[in-house]
Structures are given as structure tokens and as C-alpha cells.
Structure 1
């Protein structure tokens, strides 16, 4: 983490479904890491949980109006008065950073009514609102608190690519957070760190705890079940108590939102597509009520029990011809075998992927599965995982699984190196442009010319350890053009097990570029590029041998 003496660490867990924020003072943390974390409610007076829906309302001029529960309530009032169409209402929009290809700063988001706004502005408004809430609350306990005394942490899914991570940094910067004082935290890693501290604390207090999960040499899997994504990380506890990956992070878009969508489609089919659509299009208010009913009802469902949802008055006692469902008064009752099929596909995606991860040689000594995230509260999901993975010790670390990532992010902000290494998810490499010629290393036979099929210069091989803060690759080049001031070196990835030899291969994907500006370099000048990796990003230094100077280069992943 950042090497500066912050007075306070503040974390923002910006989720697909719900968001939260928390902070703790460094002085308090040193005496009690767990119980001194303060959570700031974003949901207003009527909020039932410590987190708030990731919903933002913007006025007709595109200016911020409300966030979270307040945004929901205000928009419902607008919808009742038929004044909602001119306003912007964004919900469950975080996943677009995962699904969008060619992510850039000009990307647009569609709101609930199809109106568009720049995604960067929407994300920045949300982060700024949360940042200001946290800072105002923290000021009550710390007199004369300055913004440069706060270390900010923002959580991101482990399976997000470099473009999505850089987008969040850009949004946070636009929101007023100094990027020098900002760290991104991978959600399952934050969960692992928090679970470790809770287990150690419970053991010291004489309470029962699964402390053996975090003994030196122990291996475990974190299954972070969120609203948008499911992240799976495999970790081992080192002799120093730090965590390192034993298999690279993986997962997919199989979170709780997938269940919501499938329930929506089922109810739509039961009532009749045309009838249901007409009602939802006519009344935004009824649509909002239906979405909320599905979200809340999903978490309560149990296997072998009927699922019940309250319907809009317009559908009360509606006669239907759908086997396995009936409408009585203002509620739809769905038989267990029908509703189980809704969950079946999404849960099978999670279980199938988890089975593949646990079948690998690298994870053969794993004994524990830790389920965290808001979706981990879903009864049907928990029952299925327990049944399919009954040879493992399955642990639900606390009663509020949705708060684990947030609290873990706060702890990580106080620790210098809670995670000492990760494994590369892909092969990473460079594509060298014209104007440069590689100086081959003695032990390699790589091509030195780049006229036809440029060589894939490897940075990190898939599955190899990435030591945080350590150099991952270094290459030297000769300048072949008469004058060179701007250099752009492509950054490539490949998911194949075997690294490509040429960037012309179909399996290579350009994900970004290294951009560096120098004083004009004359022909035959020598330049060295040194690449390292911090918590979540690549860092690049360029050295001009003749000048004896080092220049910082930036990695740009937003096209």
C-alpha cells in the first residue's frame, strides 16, 4: 500500500447492487483493527442495512440530485407524478465496465428510460458524494483534518481488466481524490484479509473461530458472491502471516443480478409478455416496485418452498394459464420446481467454475471455502454449494457477509503488504513500434527487426508469480529513427496456455499502451524500459543511457 503516514484510511465499496463506505483512524487501528472501523450510512433514515443501493439520480440538466435510498425514494415520487421521464436514473451500471469492450473515457451509460450520459460523469458523481459523506463524518472526530491526510481505498472485482481499473481511477480523480492518495483493492483479497483478522480476534477473545484456516501453510478459496460478478481467489498463508495466490483470480458475471433478470423474465412469461410490458412501460413507478420486490424476495427463497412476489394492483387475481404458477389477490405464487430452474443456470455457472478451479494441481491442498459478498446470503445458493462441495469446510465468516469486503479494504489501507504476490491471469507482452530495435538478451534468440511480424516481447507469463513492488521485466532498445520524442509501446495479453511468438497471432489482444515523452533522441541512442507492478497497476520507468536520466512513463488502458 501507499508509503505515507495517513491520519485516516477511508474505503469505498462501490458495488453493482449496493455500495458502502467506512473509515478508521490510524491511532485507533493500532489498538483494535476491527472494532474501531466506523461505517457511514449512505441510505438515509429509512435504510435497513449499512449499505445503500448503487443508484444515482440526476436532474434534467444532468446535475447530481441524490444517491442510494434517497435517489430511489425521490425518483418514485417523480414517477407517481409522471415527472420521471426528464430525469436521469441510473441503477446497476457498474457491470458495464466489465462487459464493455474498448472501454474509453467517452463511454456512455443508458439510464432506466434509455437516456444517455457520459459514464465517467456518472461514476464520478457517485464517488464524490460518498467521499464527501465519509470526510464530513471523519471531520467530527478529527479536528482540522486535511484531505491529504486521508488514504482512500476503492474496491474492484479481481476479474476486472486493466481498462476498467484505470477507468475507476479516472472517475475517482474527477471526483476530487488525489490519485497519489488512492489505492485500488481487489474485493476477494480484502475479504480474505478481514476474515483473517476476525478469526485471530475471536481466538484471542476466547470465542470459537476457524483459526486453522489462517495458520501458516494453510490454503483456502474465497468465493466473493456479489451483485454483478463472482470472484474466486485461491490463497496460501505464508510464514509471516501474509497471503499469496496459489492460482490466479477468476470468475464471471454470475452474480445476484443474473437471478433478478431471470425472475423478471419468468414473471413476464407467466402474466403474458405483451400485457406485462405494456404495464411496465406505462408506469415507471410500478416497474420500480417490481424490481425492488424481486431483489428482496430473492434472498428469502429456500429450496423446496414456493416463491411469492407481490404484484402491481393491475395484475390482481389475473387468470393465467401457466403450469406451476398462480395469482391469488395481489401475489404471484411459483412452485418450487419452477423457481429452482431460475436459479439452476446461474448457480451451475458458479459451481462448475469453482469445480474446475478446485480440480487443478495448484489447489489440491485447499480445505476451506469462504463465502462472502451480499449474494452469499441467498439461501438457495448456500444450500447448493454446501451440497456440491461437502468434502470442504464451508465457512460463512460473519452475519453480515456484504460488509466483509468493505471492512477488509479499510484494514488493507493500514497494512503495508497484506498481499505479497499474485499470479498472472494472462500472458502479458509488448509490441514494439517502428523507430525502436530490441537489444536481444544473451540467453534469447528473439527477432531484432519489426518490419513484418513484430515479436511478442514477454512481460509476465500466465500463472507466474507477480511480486508486488518488484520488477517484472526489463528491455533495452536502440533508436533507429532520426528523431524520436514520443514513444507508444503496445501492451498485449494472451489467454492461451502457451505464450505467442508473434503479435500477429489471433490470440493476442491489445489492452493498452506505454506512453513516454522524451527530449528528442538521436539515432542509435539507447533506451531501457523497466516495468514493475504495484497493488493493481503496472508502473513503467524509461532510462536514457546517454543522458543518465530516468523518465516516468504511463500505462494507458483507456482507448
Structure 2
């Protein structure tokens, strides 16, 4: 694959195919995509910025990278000082907050500072947090303003303080790095891309957007990108000098028009699975909704520490963590390296045991650590010698079994889908994909499918996010994971409506809580596609406050294809659709239409008064609205108007 020096990623993909595959591109005949909706050309809605930076906030490691629009493929990855003079492309996802919950430090600096506080016994009122990203993965519905994360000392701290602190730190560090290199850019000239798992809920994705804005990133300069998608974009753009000939040829074939491939993004916390098809124009189409689970590299870590705790005792390990933070970080980082470097032909894996752990073990159990392991039934497979804990390879491999099996089972389930039956490749990316044990597990489970694990797989999301920021128009179709709709009310019709789902306002009977479907579960939607909902409202005699304030309409999701009411089984409140009155005031007899347009990074909402043709903005807030006592049931819905 020749090195790319093109401005756009799409152009890079085309040139790659022509030179590597000998494939001549043809124009796509299907220029429009019609369902039961209006479709307009998406156009280039993204304003190109001189610089794109991607923030990849991971469960285990975090980092950022950037490139300039003139040379988008020349990506600079920020390096972090770990031990001594060693530099790492990512830093631990660790944050230290002061006793007042102000941000203090991040990454290796946070670990070093907290270790120093520990040594002086000044740590108890401080707040050290790691693995905080999972708090967004674990919840489907929440209010980001009151969401908390648990720190290492079992203190609850506001998630907003943690996420906002990290994002603000990375943004400020970027500006400092640019200044040192002689670049003086205003933040308005920087496109920020923040990556998130594709399996996250809409509320989680919005929370990351809100935290980024709170950290000082202007919303118009921010994109949210899906990790598996951008990882795939990075792989197709990798220069020939950075990959083997075999990897280059496989990726070139995988990106041939008509080819379907599964992206297996294995991070520290989650496994993220998407299935893509390459269209004739080189753009990607999602064939199935994203799926996955909490089967990342941390599963292996957790099983290791559970096993060690079982051997030494809960009291020993709890005391070790709470009194010797620096040694705990040292042991944790040791295991992380051993996990990543473990090979199938390796006979022994050893870890240096900190002297503090040995001392605590003797104090609590009255026995030396070596004697304890010698008394266990597993002494032939796990034993202590010369300050090191030694694991036989077959025992160490058990730590991987649960996560690998869960990943294999989910991939099998995905491939059983009719749309995914023609998958030819599995593209493995993310830090956990670099484990030989995981790679071999996938290859053995799917011998008929070619598995690709490119060089630099742990940085695929980070670098792919940069490329996506330069050229986001690389994804064409998506699959809707649920049916989405808005709450509506209609004039009551006894032949059509259930009386129990109605209410009387004045002299008029309304059917309330109707589910007005916008997108259907498993529907294929195209970027640029529009859905229009016609609405009406009588504001005559309403208080002036209601005439001038934004209208909030409840938004619901359902696993059913065609729900009729928001109270149907399986319907859940997702948030609110907010529209502003055109001209700042609702007319007496309002007739309007709400337009929902699918974009690369979400859905745009706009409102138009059909009488005056005046327009106003709108947005979707994926957070549960707070109920108001005595509220009119029609207040959070519009009346449906089919005319």
C-alpha cells in the first residue's frame, strides 16, 4: 500500500485500491436512498479546520494525537514519561483530585503524586480514580450532573469533575505542546474528535459531549466518533513502510467494494463489535447494530488479582492497596506488561513481588508468602522463589479464558445474522487485540475467516480518530439499534383510540401518549437522510411564558418494530426533543414540521413554521426529564397533524 499524501481519507482509499488491487473504481448508480421519508444530499456540513486532534479516553490508557490539514497522514502522537526516560504513547487513565475535588494531575503524574502522599500518610482526604470510563458503559439512563464514580479509597466523587478535568488537561497540554513546536493556533481553528464505544447508550455519548463542552471545547468544534469505525479507517490508510506486505495486501482486499468485514475492537474495558460493508464509492455501510460487552483486558487483570487475593487473603490485599499505593501501581503495571507479552510457547511467567506485600502477608497471616503458596494445591503451577511469583503457562492462560470465550460467543452470534453471513474478514484492533492468546483464540474459533491484526493496533482508534476529523464523510449507512419516536397526542377517535389512553382538556378529548415513530429498529438509515414529523398546537390564551419558551417533547425508544403508545411494554424514556419558537414566540395557531437529519455523528433537529416558513433550531437531550407536579399531560408532546 503506497504512502498516502492526500487531503481526504476517501481519496486515500481510492488511490490505495487502484495501486494495490488493480481495481478500477466506478460511480455508484444509487445516488439516493429512499425509505418512507424525504432524502436530501448531505453536503459537506463539516467546516474543515487547520488542525485535527483526537482524544481517546480509554478505560486503562488515555492519549491524544493530531495532524494538520495539509498533511493529514503525518500524525503526531503525544508521548508520556512513564519510568525514568521511558516514553509511552498513552498514559494510565488515572486522575487525582484534591480534597476540594479540584483536578490535580493525570496519568503517571497522578500515580506518582498519590504514591508520595501515601508515603507521608497524607492521602486519606485526596481522591485517586482510575478506570472511570466504565461508569458510562454500565448505565443506560442517568443524569450526568449527579453521576458519581468510586475512587481507590471508596470515596464517591462526581463523574463530571473527573471527565471534565481529564479532557481540560489534555486540551491544555495540546496547546502547550503546539506552542513549544512554534505553532500559535486559536482553539477555534482546531477540530476536536472524542472517541466513544459504538455500544454505548445515547445518554453516555451525550455525557461525553457535555463533559467536553464543560472542559472548554466549543460544541461547534467537537465531533463524537465511534471507536471501531475510526479504527478501520486508520488501517486502510497505514503507509506501506509501517506494515508487513501480508498485512498490506489483506487490508487492500478487505477494502474492496462489496467486501464485508467485522471490526473487533478490544480495549481495556469493553469489546466493541461492528460489521461494515464497503460500498462502490469506498464509503462504509454498517450492516448490523453494534454489540459487545465488558470483556476487555481488564477482565484478565481482575481474575489475576482475585486469584492473588484468594491465595493471600482479603485483609492482606486490602491493606496492601490502602497503605502502599506506589507498590500496588508497580505490581499492576508489571502484570499489564506480562499480560500483553504472554506467548503460547512461554513456559513461565514471573512477577516481582513488592517487599511491602511480603511484609503485610507475614504480619496478617503469620506466615511468609513463599510458605503460603507452598501449602496450596496449586503449588506445582504457582510458586514463590527469589522474590518472584512464578506462574506455569497453563495456569496463567486461565486468566484469559473467560473474556476470550465471551468474545468468541458474541462474534458467533453476530455472524449468524443474515446480513453478516458474507463476512470475509475479522479486523482486530485495540490494545487487548495485541495479546497472542486472544488472537489465536479468535483464529481457532473462526478458521474459515481471515483474521487481520495490523501493526500499531493499540493506536488504531487514536490515529483513526484524527483521520476521521479531517474527512468524516466516510460512513454512508447505519443500522438503527432501536425504534425511536416522540410523544404525540391526537384528537380522540372512539373508533381508533382506547379511552383509557385519553384525557380531556377543556371540552376537547385527546388520545395521549401516542408513539410517533421516527426511526424503526434495524432500519438502514443513510447519512443525510431526513425524517419529517408534522405537528400542530393551539397557543391561543396561553400565558406569555409558554408562548416564548422552548417546547420539550419526550423521546422514547423501543425494541419493538412498531409501538403504538409510549406506555407499551419495552418503551423507555430516552430524553427530550427541544425546539425553539420561530421568531422567539409561538403563534396562536401553530402548524409546523420537525425535521430529523441523520449526520455522521448524530441527528440534527430543526423546526419550521409551515405558515410563515420561518425556521428555528432544535436538539435532542438524551437525559431523563424531571417530572413536574401537576403538569398538563399535553405539555411534553405536540399534536399530530397529518395535513
Alignment of 1:103-252 (within 5 A): 103-104=142-143, 105-141=145-181, 143-198=183-238, 208-210=248-250, 211-252=252-293
Cα pair 1:42 1:130 within 8 Å, conserved: no
| 2:628 counterpart residue number | none
Cα distance in 2 between the residues matched to 1:118 and 1:112: 14
Matched, 1:494 2:547: no
For residues 411-434 of structure 1, give each alpha carbon's deviation from its aligned partner in whole angstroms, at most 9, with x where no partner exists.
1111140111211111112123xx
Cα distance in 2 between the residues matched to 1:447 and 1:152: 49
3-state SS of paired residue (1:86): coil
Structure 1: gaps of 5 or more residues: none
Matched, 1:376 2:440: no
Cα distance in 1 between the residues matched to 2:220 and 2:459: 26
| 1:268 counterpart residue number | 309
Q: CA deviation at 1:269?
A: 0.8
Cα distance in 2 between the residues matched to 1:466 and 1:446: 31
Cα distance in 1 between the residues matched to 2:492 and 2:81: 58
| 2:131 counterpart residue number | 92
For residues 165-207 of structure 1, give each alpha carbon's deviation from its aligned partner in whole angstroms, at most 9, with x where no partner exists.
1111111111111110111110011011111112788899999
| 1:421 counterpart residue number | 477
Residue 20 of structure 1 is aligned with which of 63, 68, 72? 63
| 1:515 counterpart residue number | 578
For residues 103-156 of structure 1, give each alpha carbon's deviation from its aligned partner in whole angstroms, at most 9, with x where no partner exists.
222212221112232211211111111112222223455644221111111111
| 1:410 counterpart residue number | 466
| 2:17 counterpart residue number | none
Matched, 1:51 2:90: yes
Name the stretch that deviates more: 272-281 or 347-356. Answer: 272-281
| 1:317 counterpart residue number | 370
Cα pair 1:437 1:450 within 8 Å, conserved: no
Cα distance in 1 between the residues matched to 2:184 and 2:593: 45
Cα distance in 1 between the residues matched to 2:519 and 2:615: 23
| 1:346 counterpart residue number | 403
For residues 28-77 of structure 1, give each alpha carbon's deviation from its aligned partner in whole angstroms, at most 9, with x where no partner exists.
23xxx2xx111122446644421111111223333322211121122222
| 1:546 counterpart residue number | 611
Structure 2: gaps of 5 or more residues: 1-43, 362-368, 504-510, 625-643
| 1:299 counterpart residue number | 340
Cα pair 1:98 1:160 within 8 Å, conserved: yes
Cα distance in 1 between the residues matched to 2:236 and 2:497: 45
Point out the structure with max Rg over C-alpha.
Answer: 2
Cα distance in 2 between the residues matched to 1:177 and 1:59: 23
1:270/1:306 CA distance change after superposition, 3 Å? farther
Cα distance in 1 between the residues matched to 2:320 and 2:265: 36
Q: CA deviation at 1:530?
A: 1.2
For residues 458-516 of structure 1, give each alpha carbon's deviation from its aligned partner in whole angstroms, at most 9, with x where no partner exists.
11112212222321x211122156435442211212234x3322221231111111123
Cα distance in 2 between the residues matched to 1:446 and 1:183: 43
Residue 83 of structure 1 is aligned with which of 115, 122, 125? 122
| 2:523 counterpart residue number | 464
| 1:479 counterpart residue number | 537
Name the stretch that deviates more: 101-110 or 185-194. Answer: 101-110
3-state SS of paired residue (2:116): helix
Size of the aligned set, in residue pairs, is 544
Cα pair 2:434 2:453 within 8 Å, conserved: no
Name the stretch that deviates more: 359-368 or 59-68. Answer: 59-68
Cα distance in 2 between the residues matched to 1:151 and 1:439: 49
Cα pair 1:20 1:50 within 8 Å, conserved: yes
1:172/1:446 CA distance change after superposition, 3 Å? farther
Cα pair 1:446 1:455 within 8 Å, conserved: no
- Could you list the structure 1 runs, at least 4 aligned residues long, displaced by more than 6 angstroms after superposition: 199-207, 445-449
Alignment of 1:520-531 (within 5 A): 520-521=585-586, 524-531=589-596
3-state SS of paired residue (2:100): coil
Q: TM-score, normalised by structure 1?
A: 0.90
Residue 418 of structure 2 is aligned with which of 361, 366, 369? 361
Q: CA deviation at 1:273?
A: 2.8
For residues 272-319 of structure 1, give each alpha carbon's deviation from its aligned partner in whole angstroms, at most 9, with x where no partner exists.
233333433443334333333332222233347444333232244242
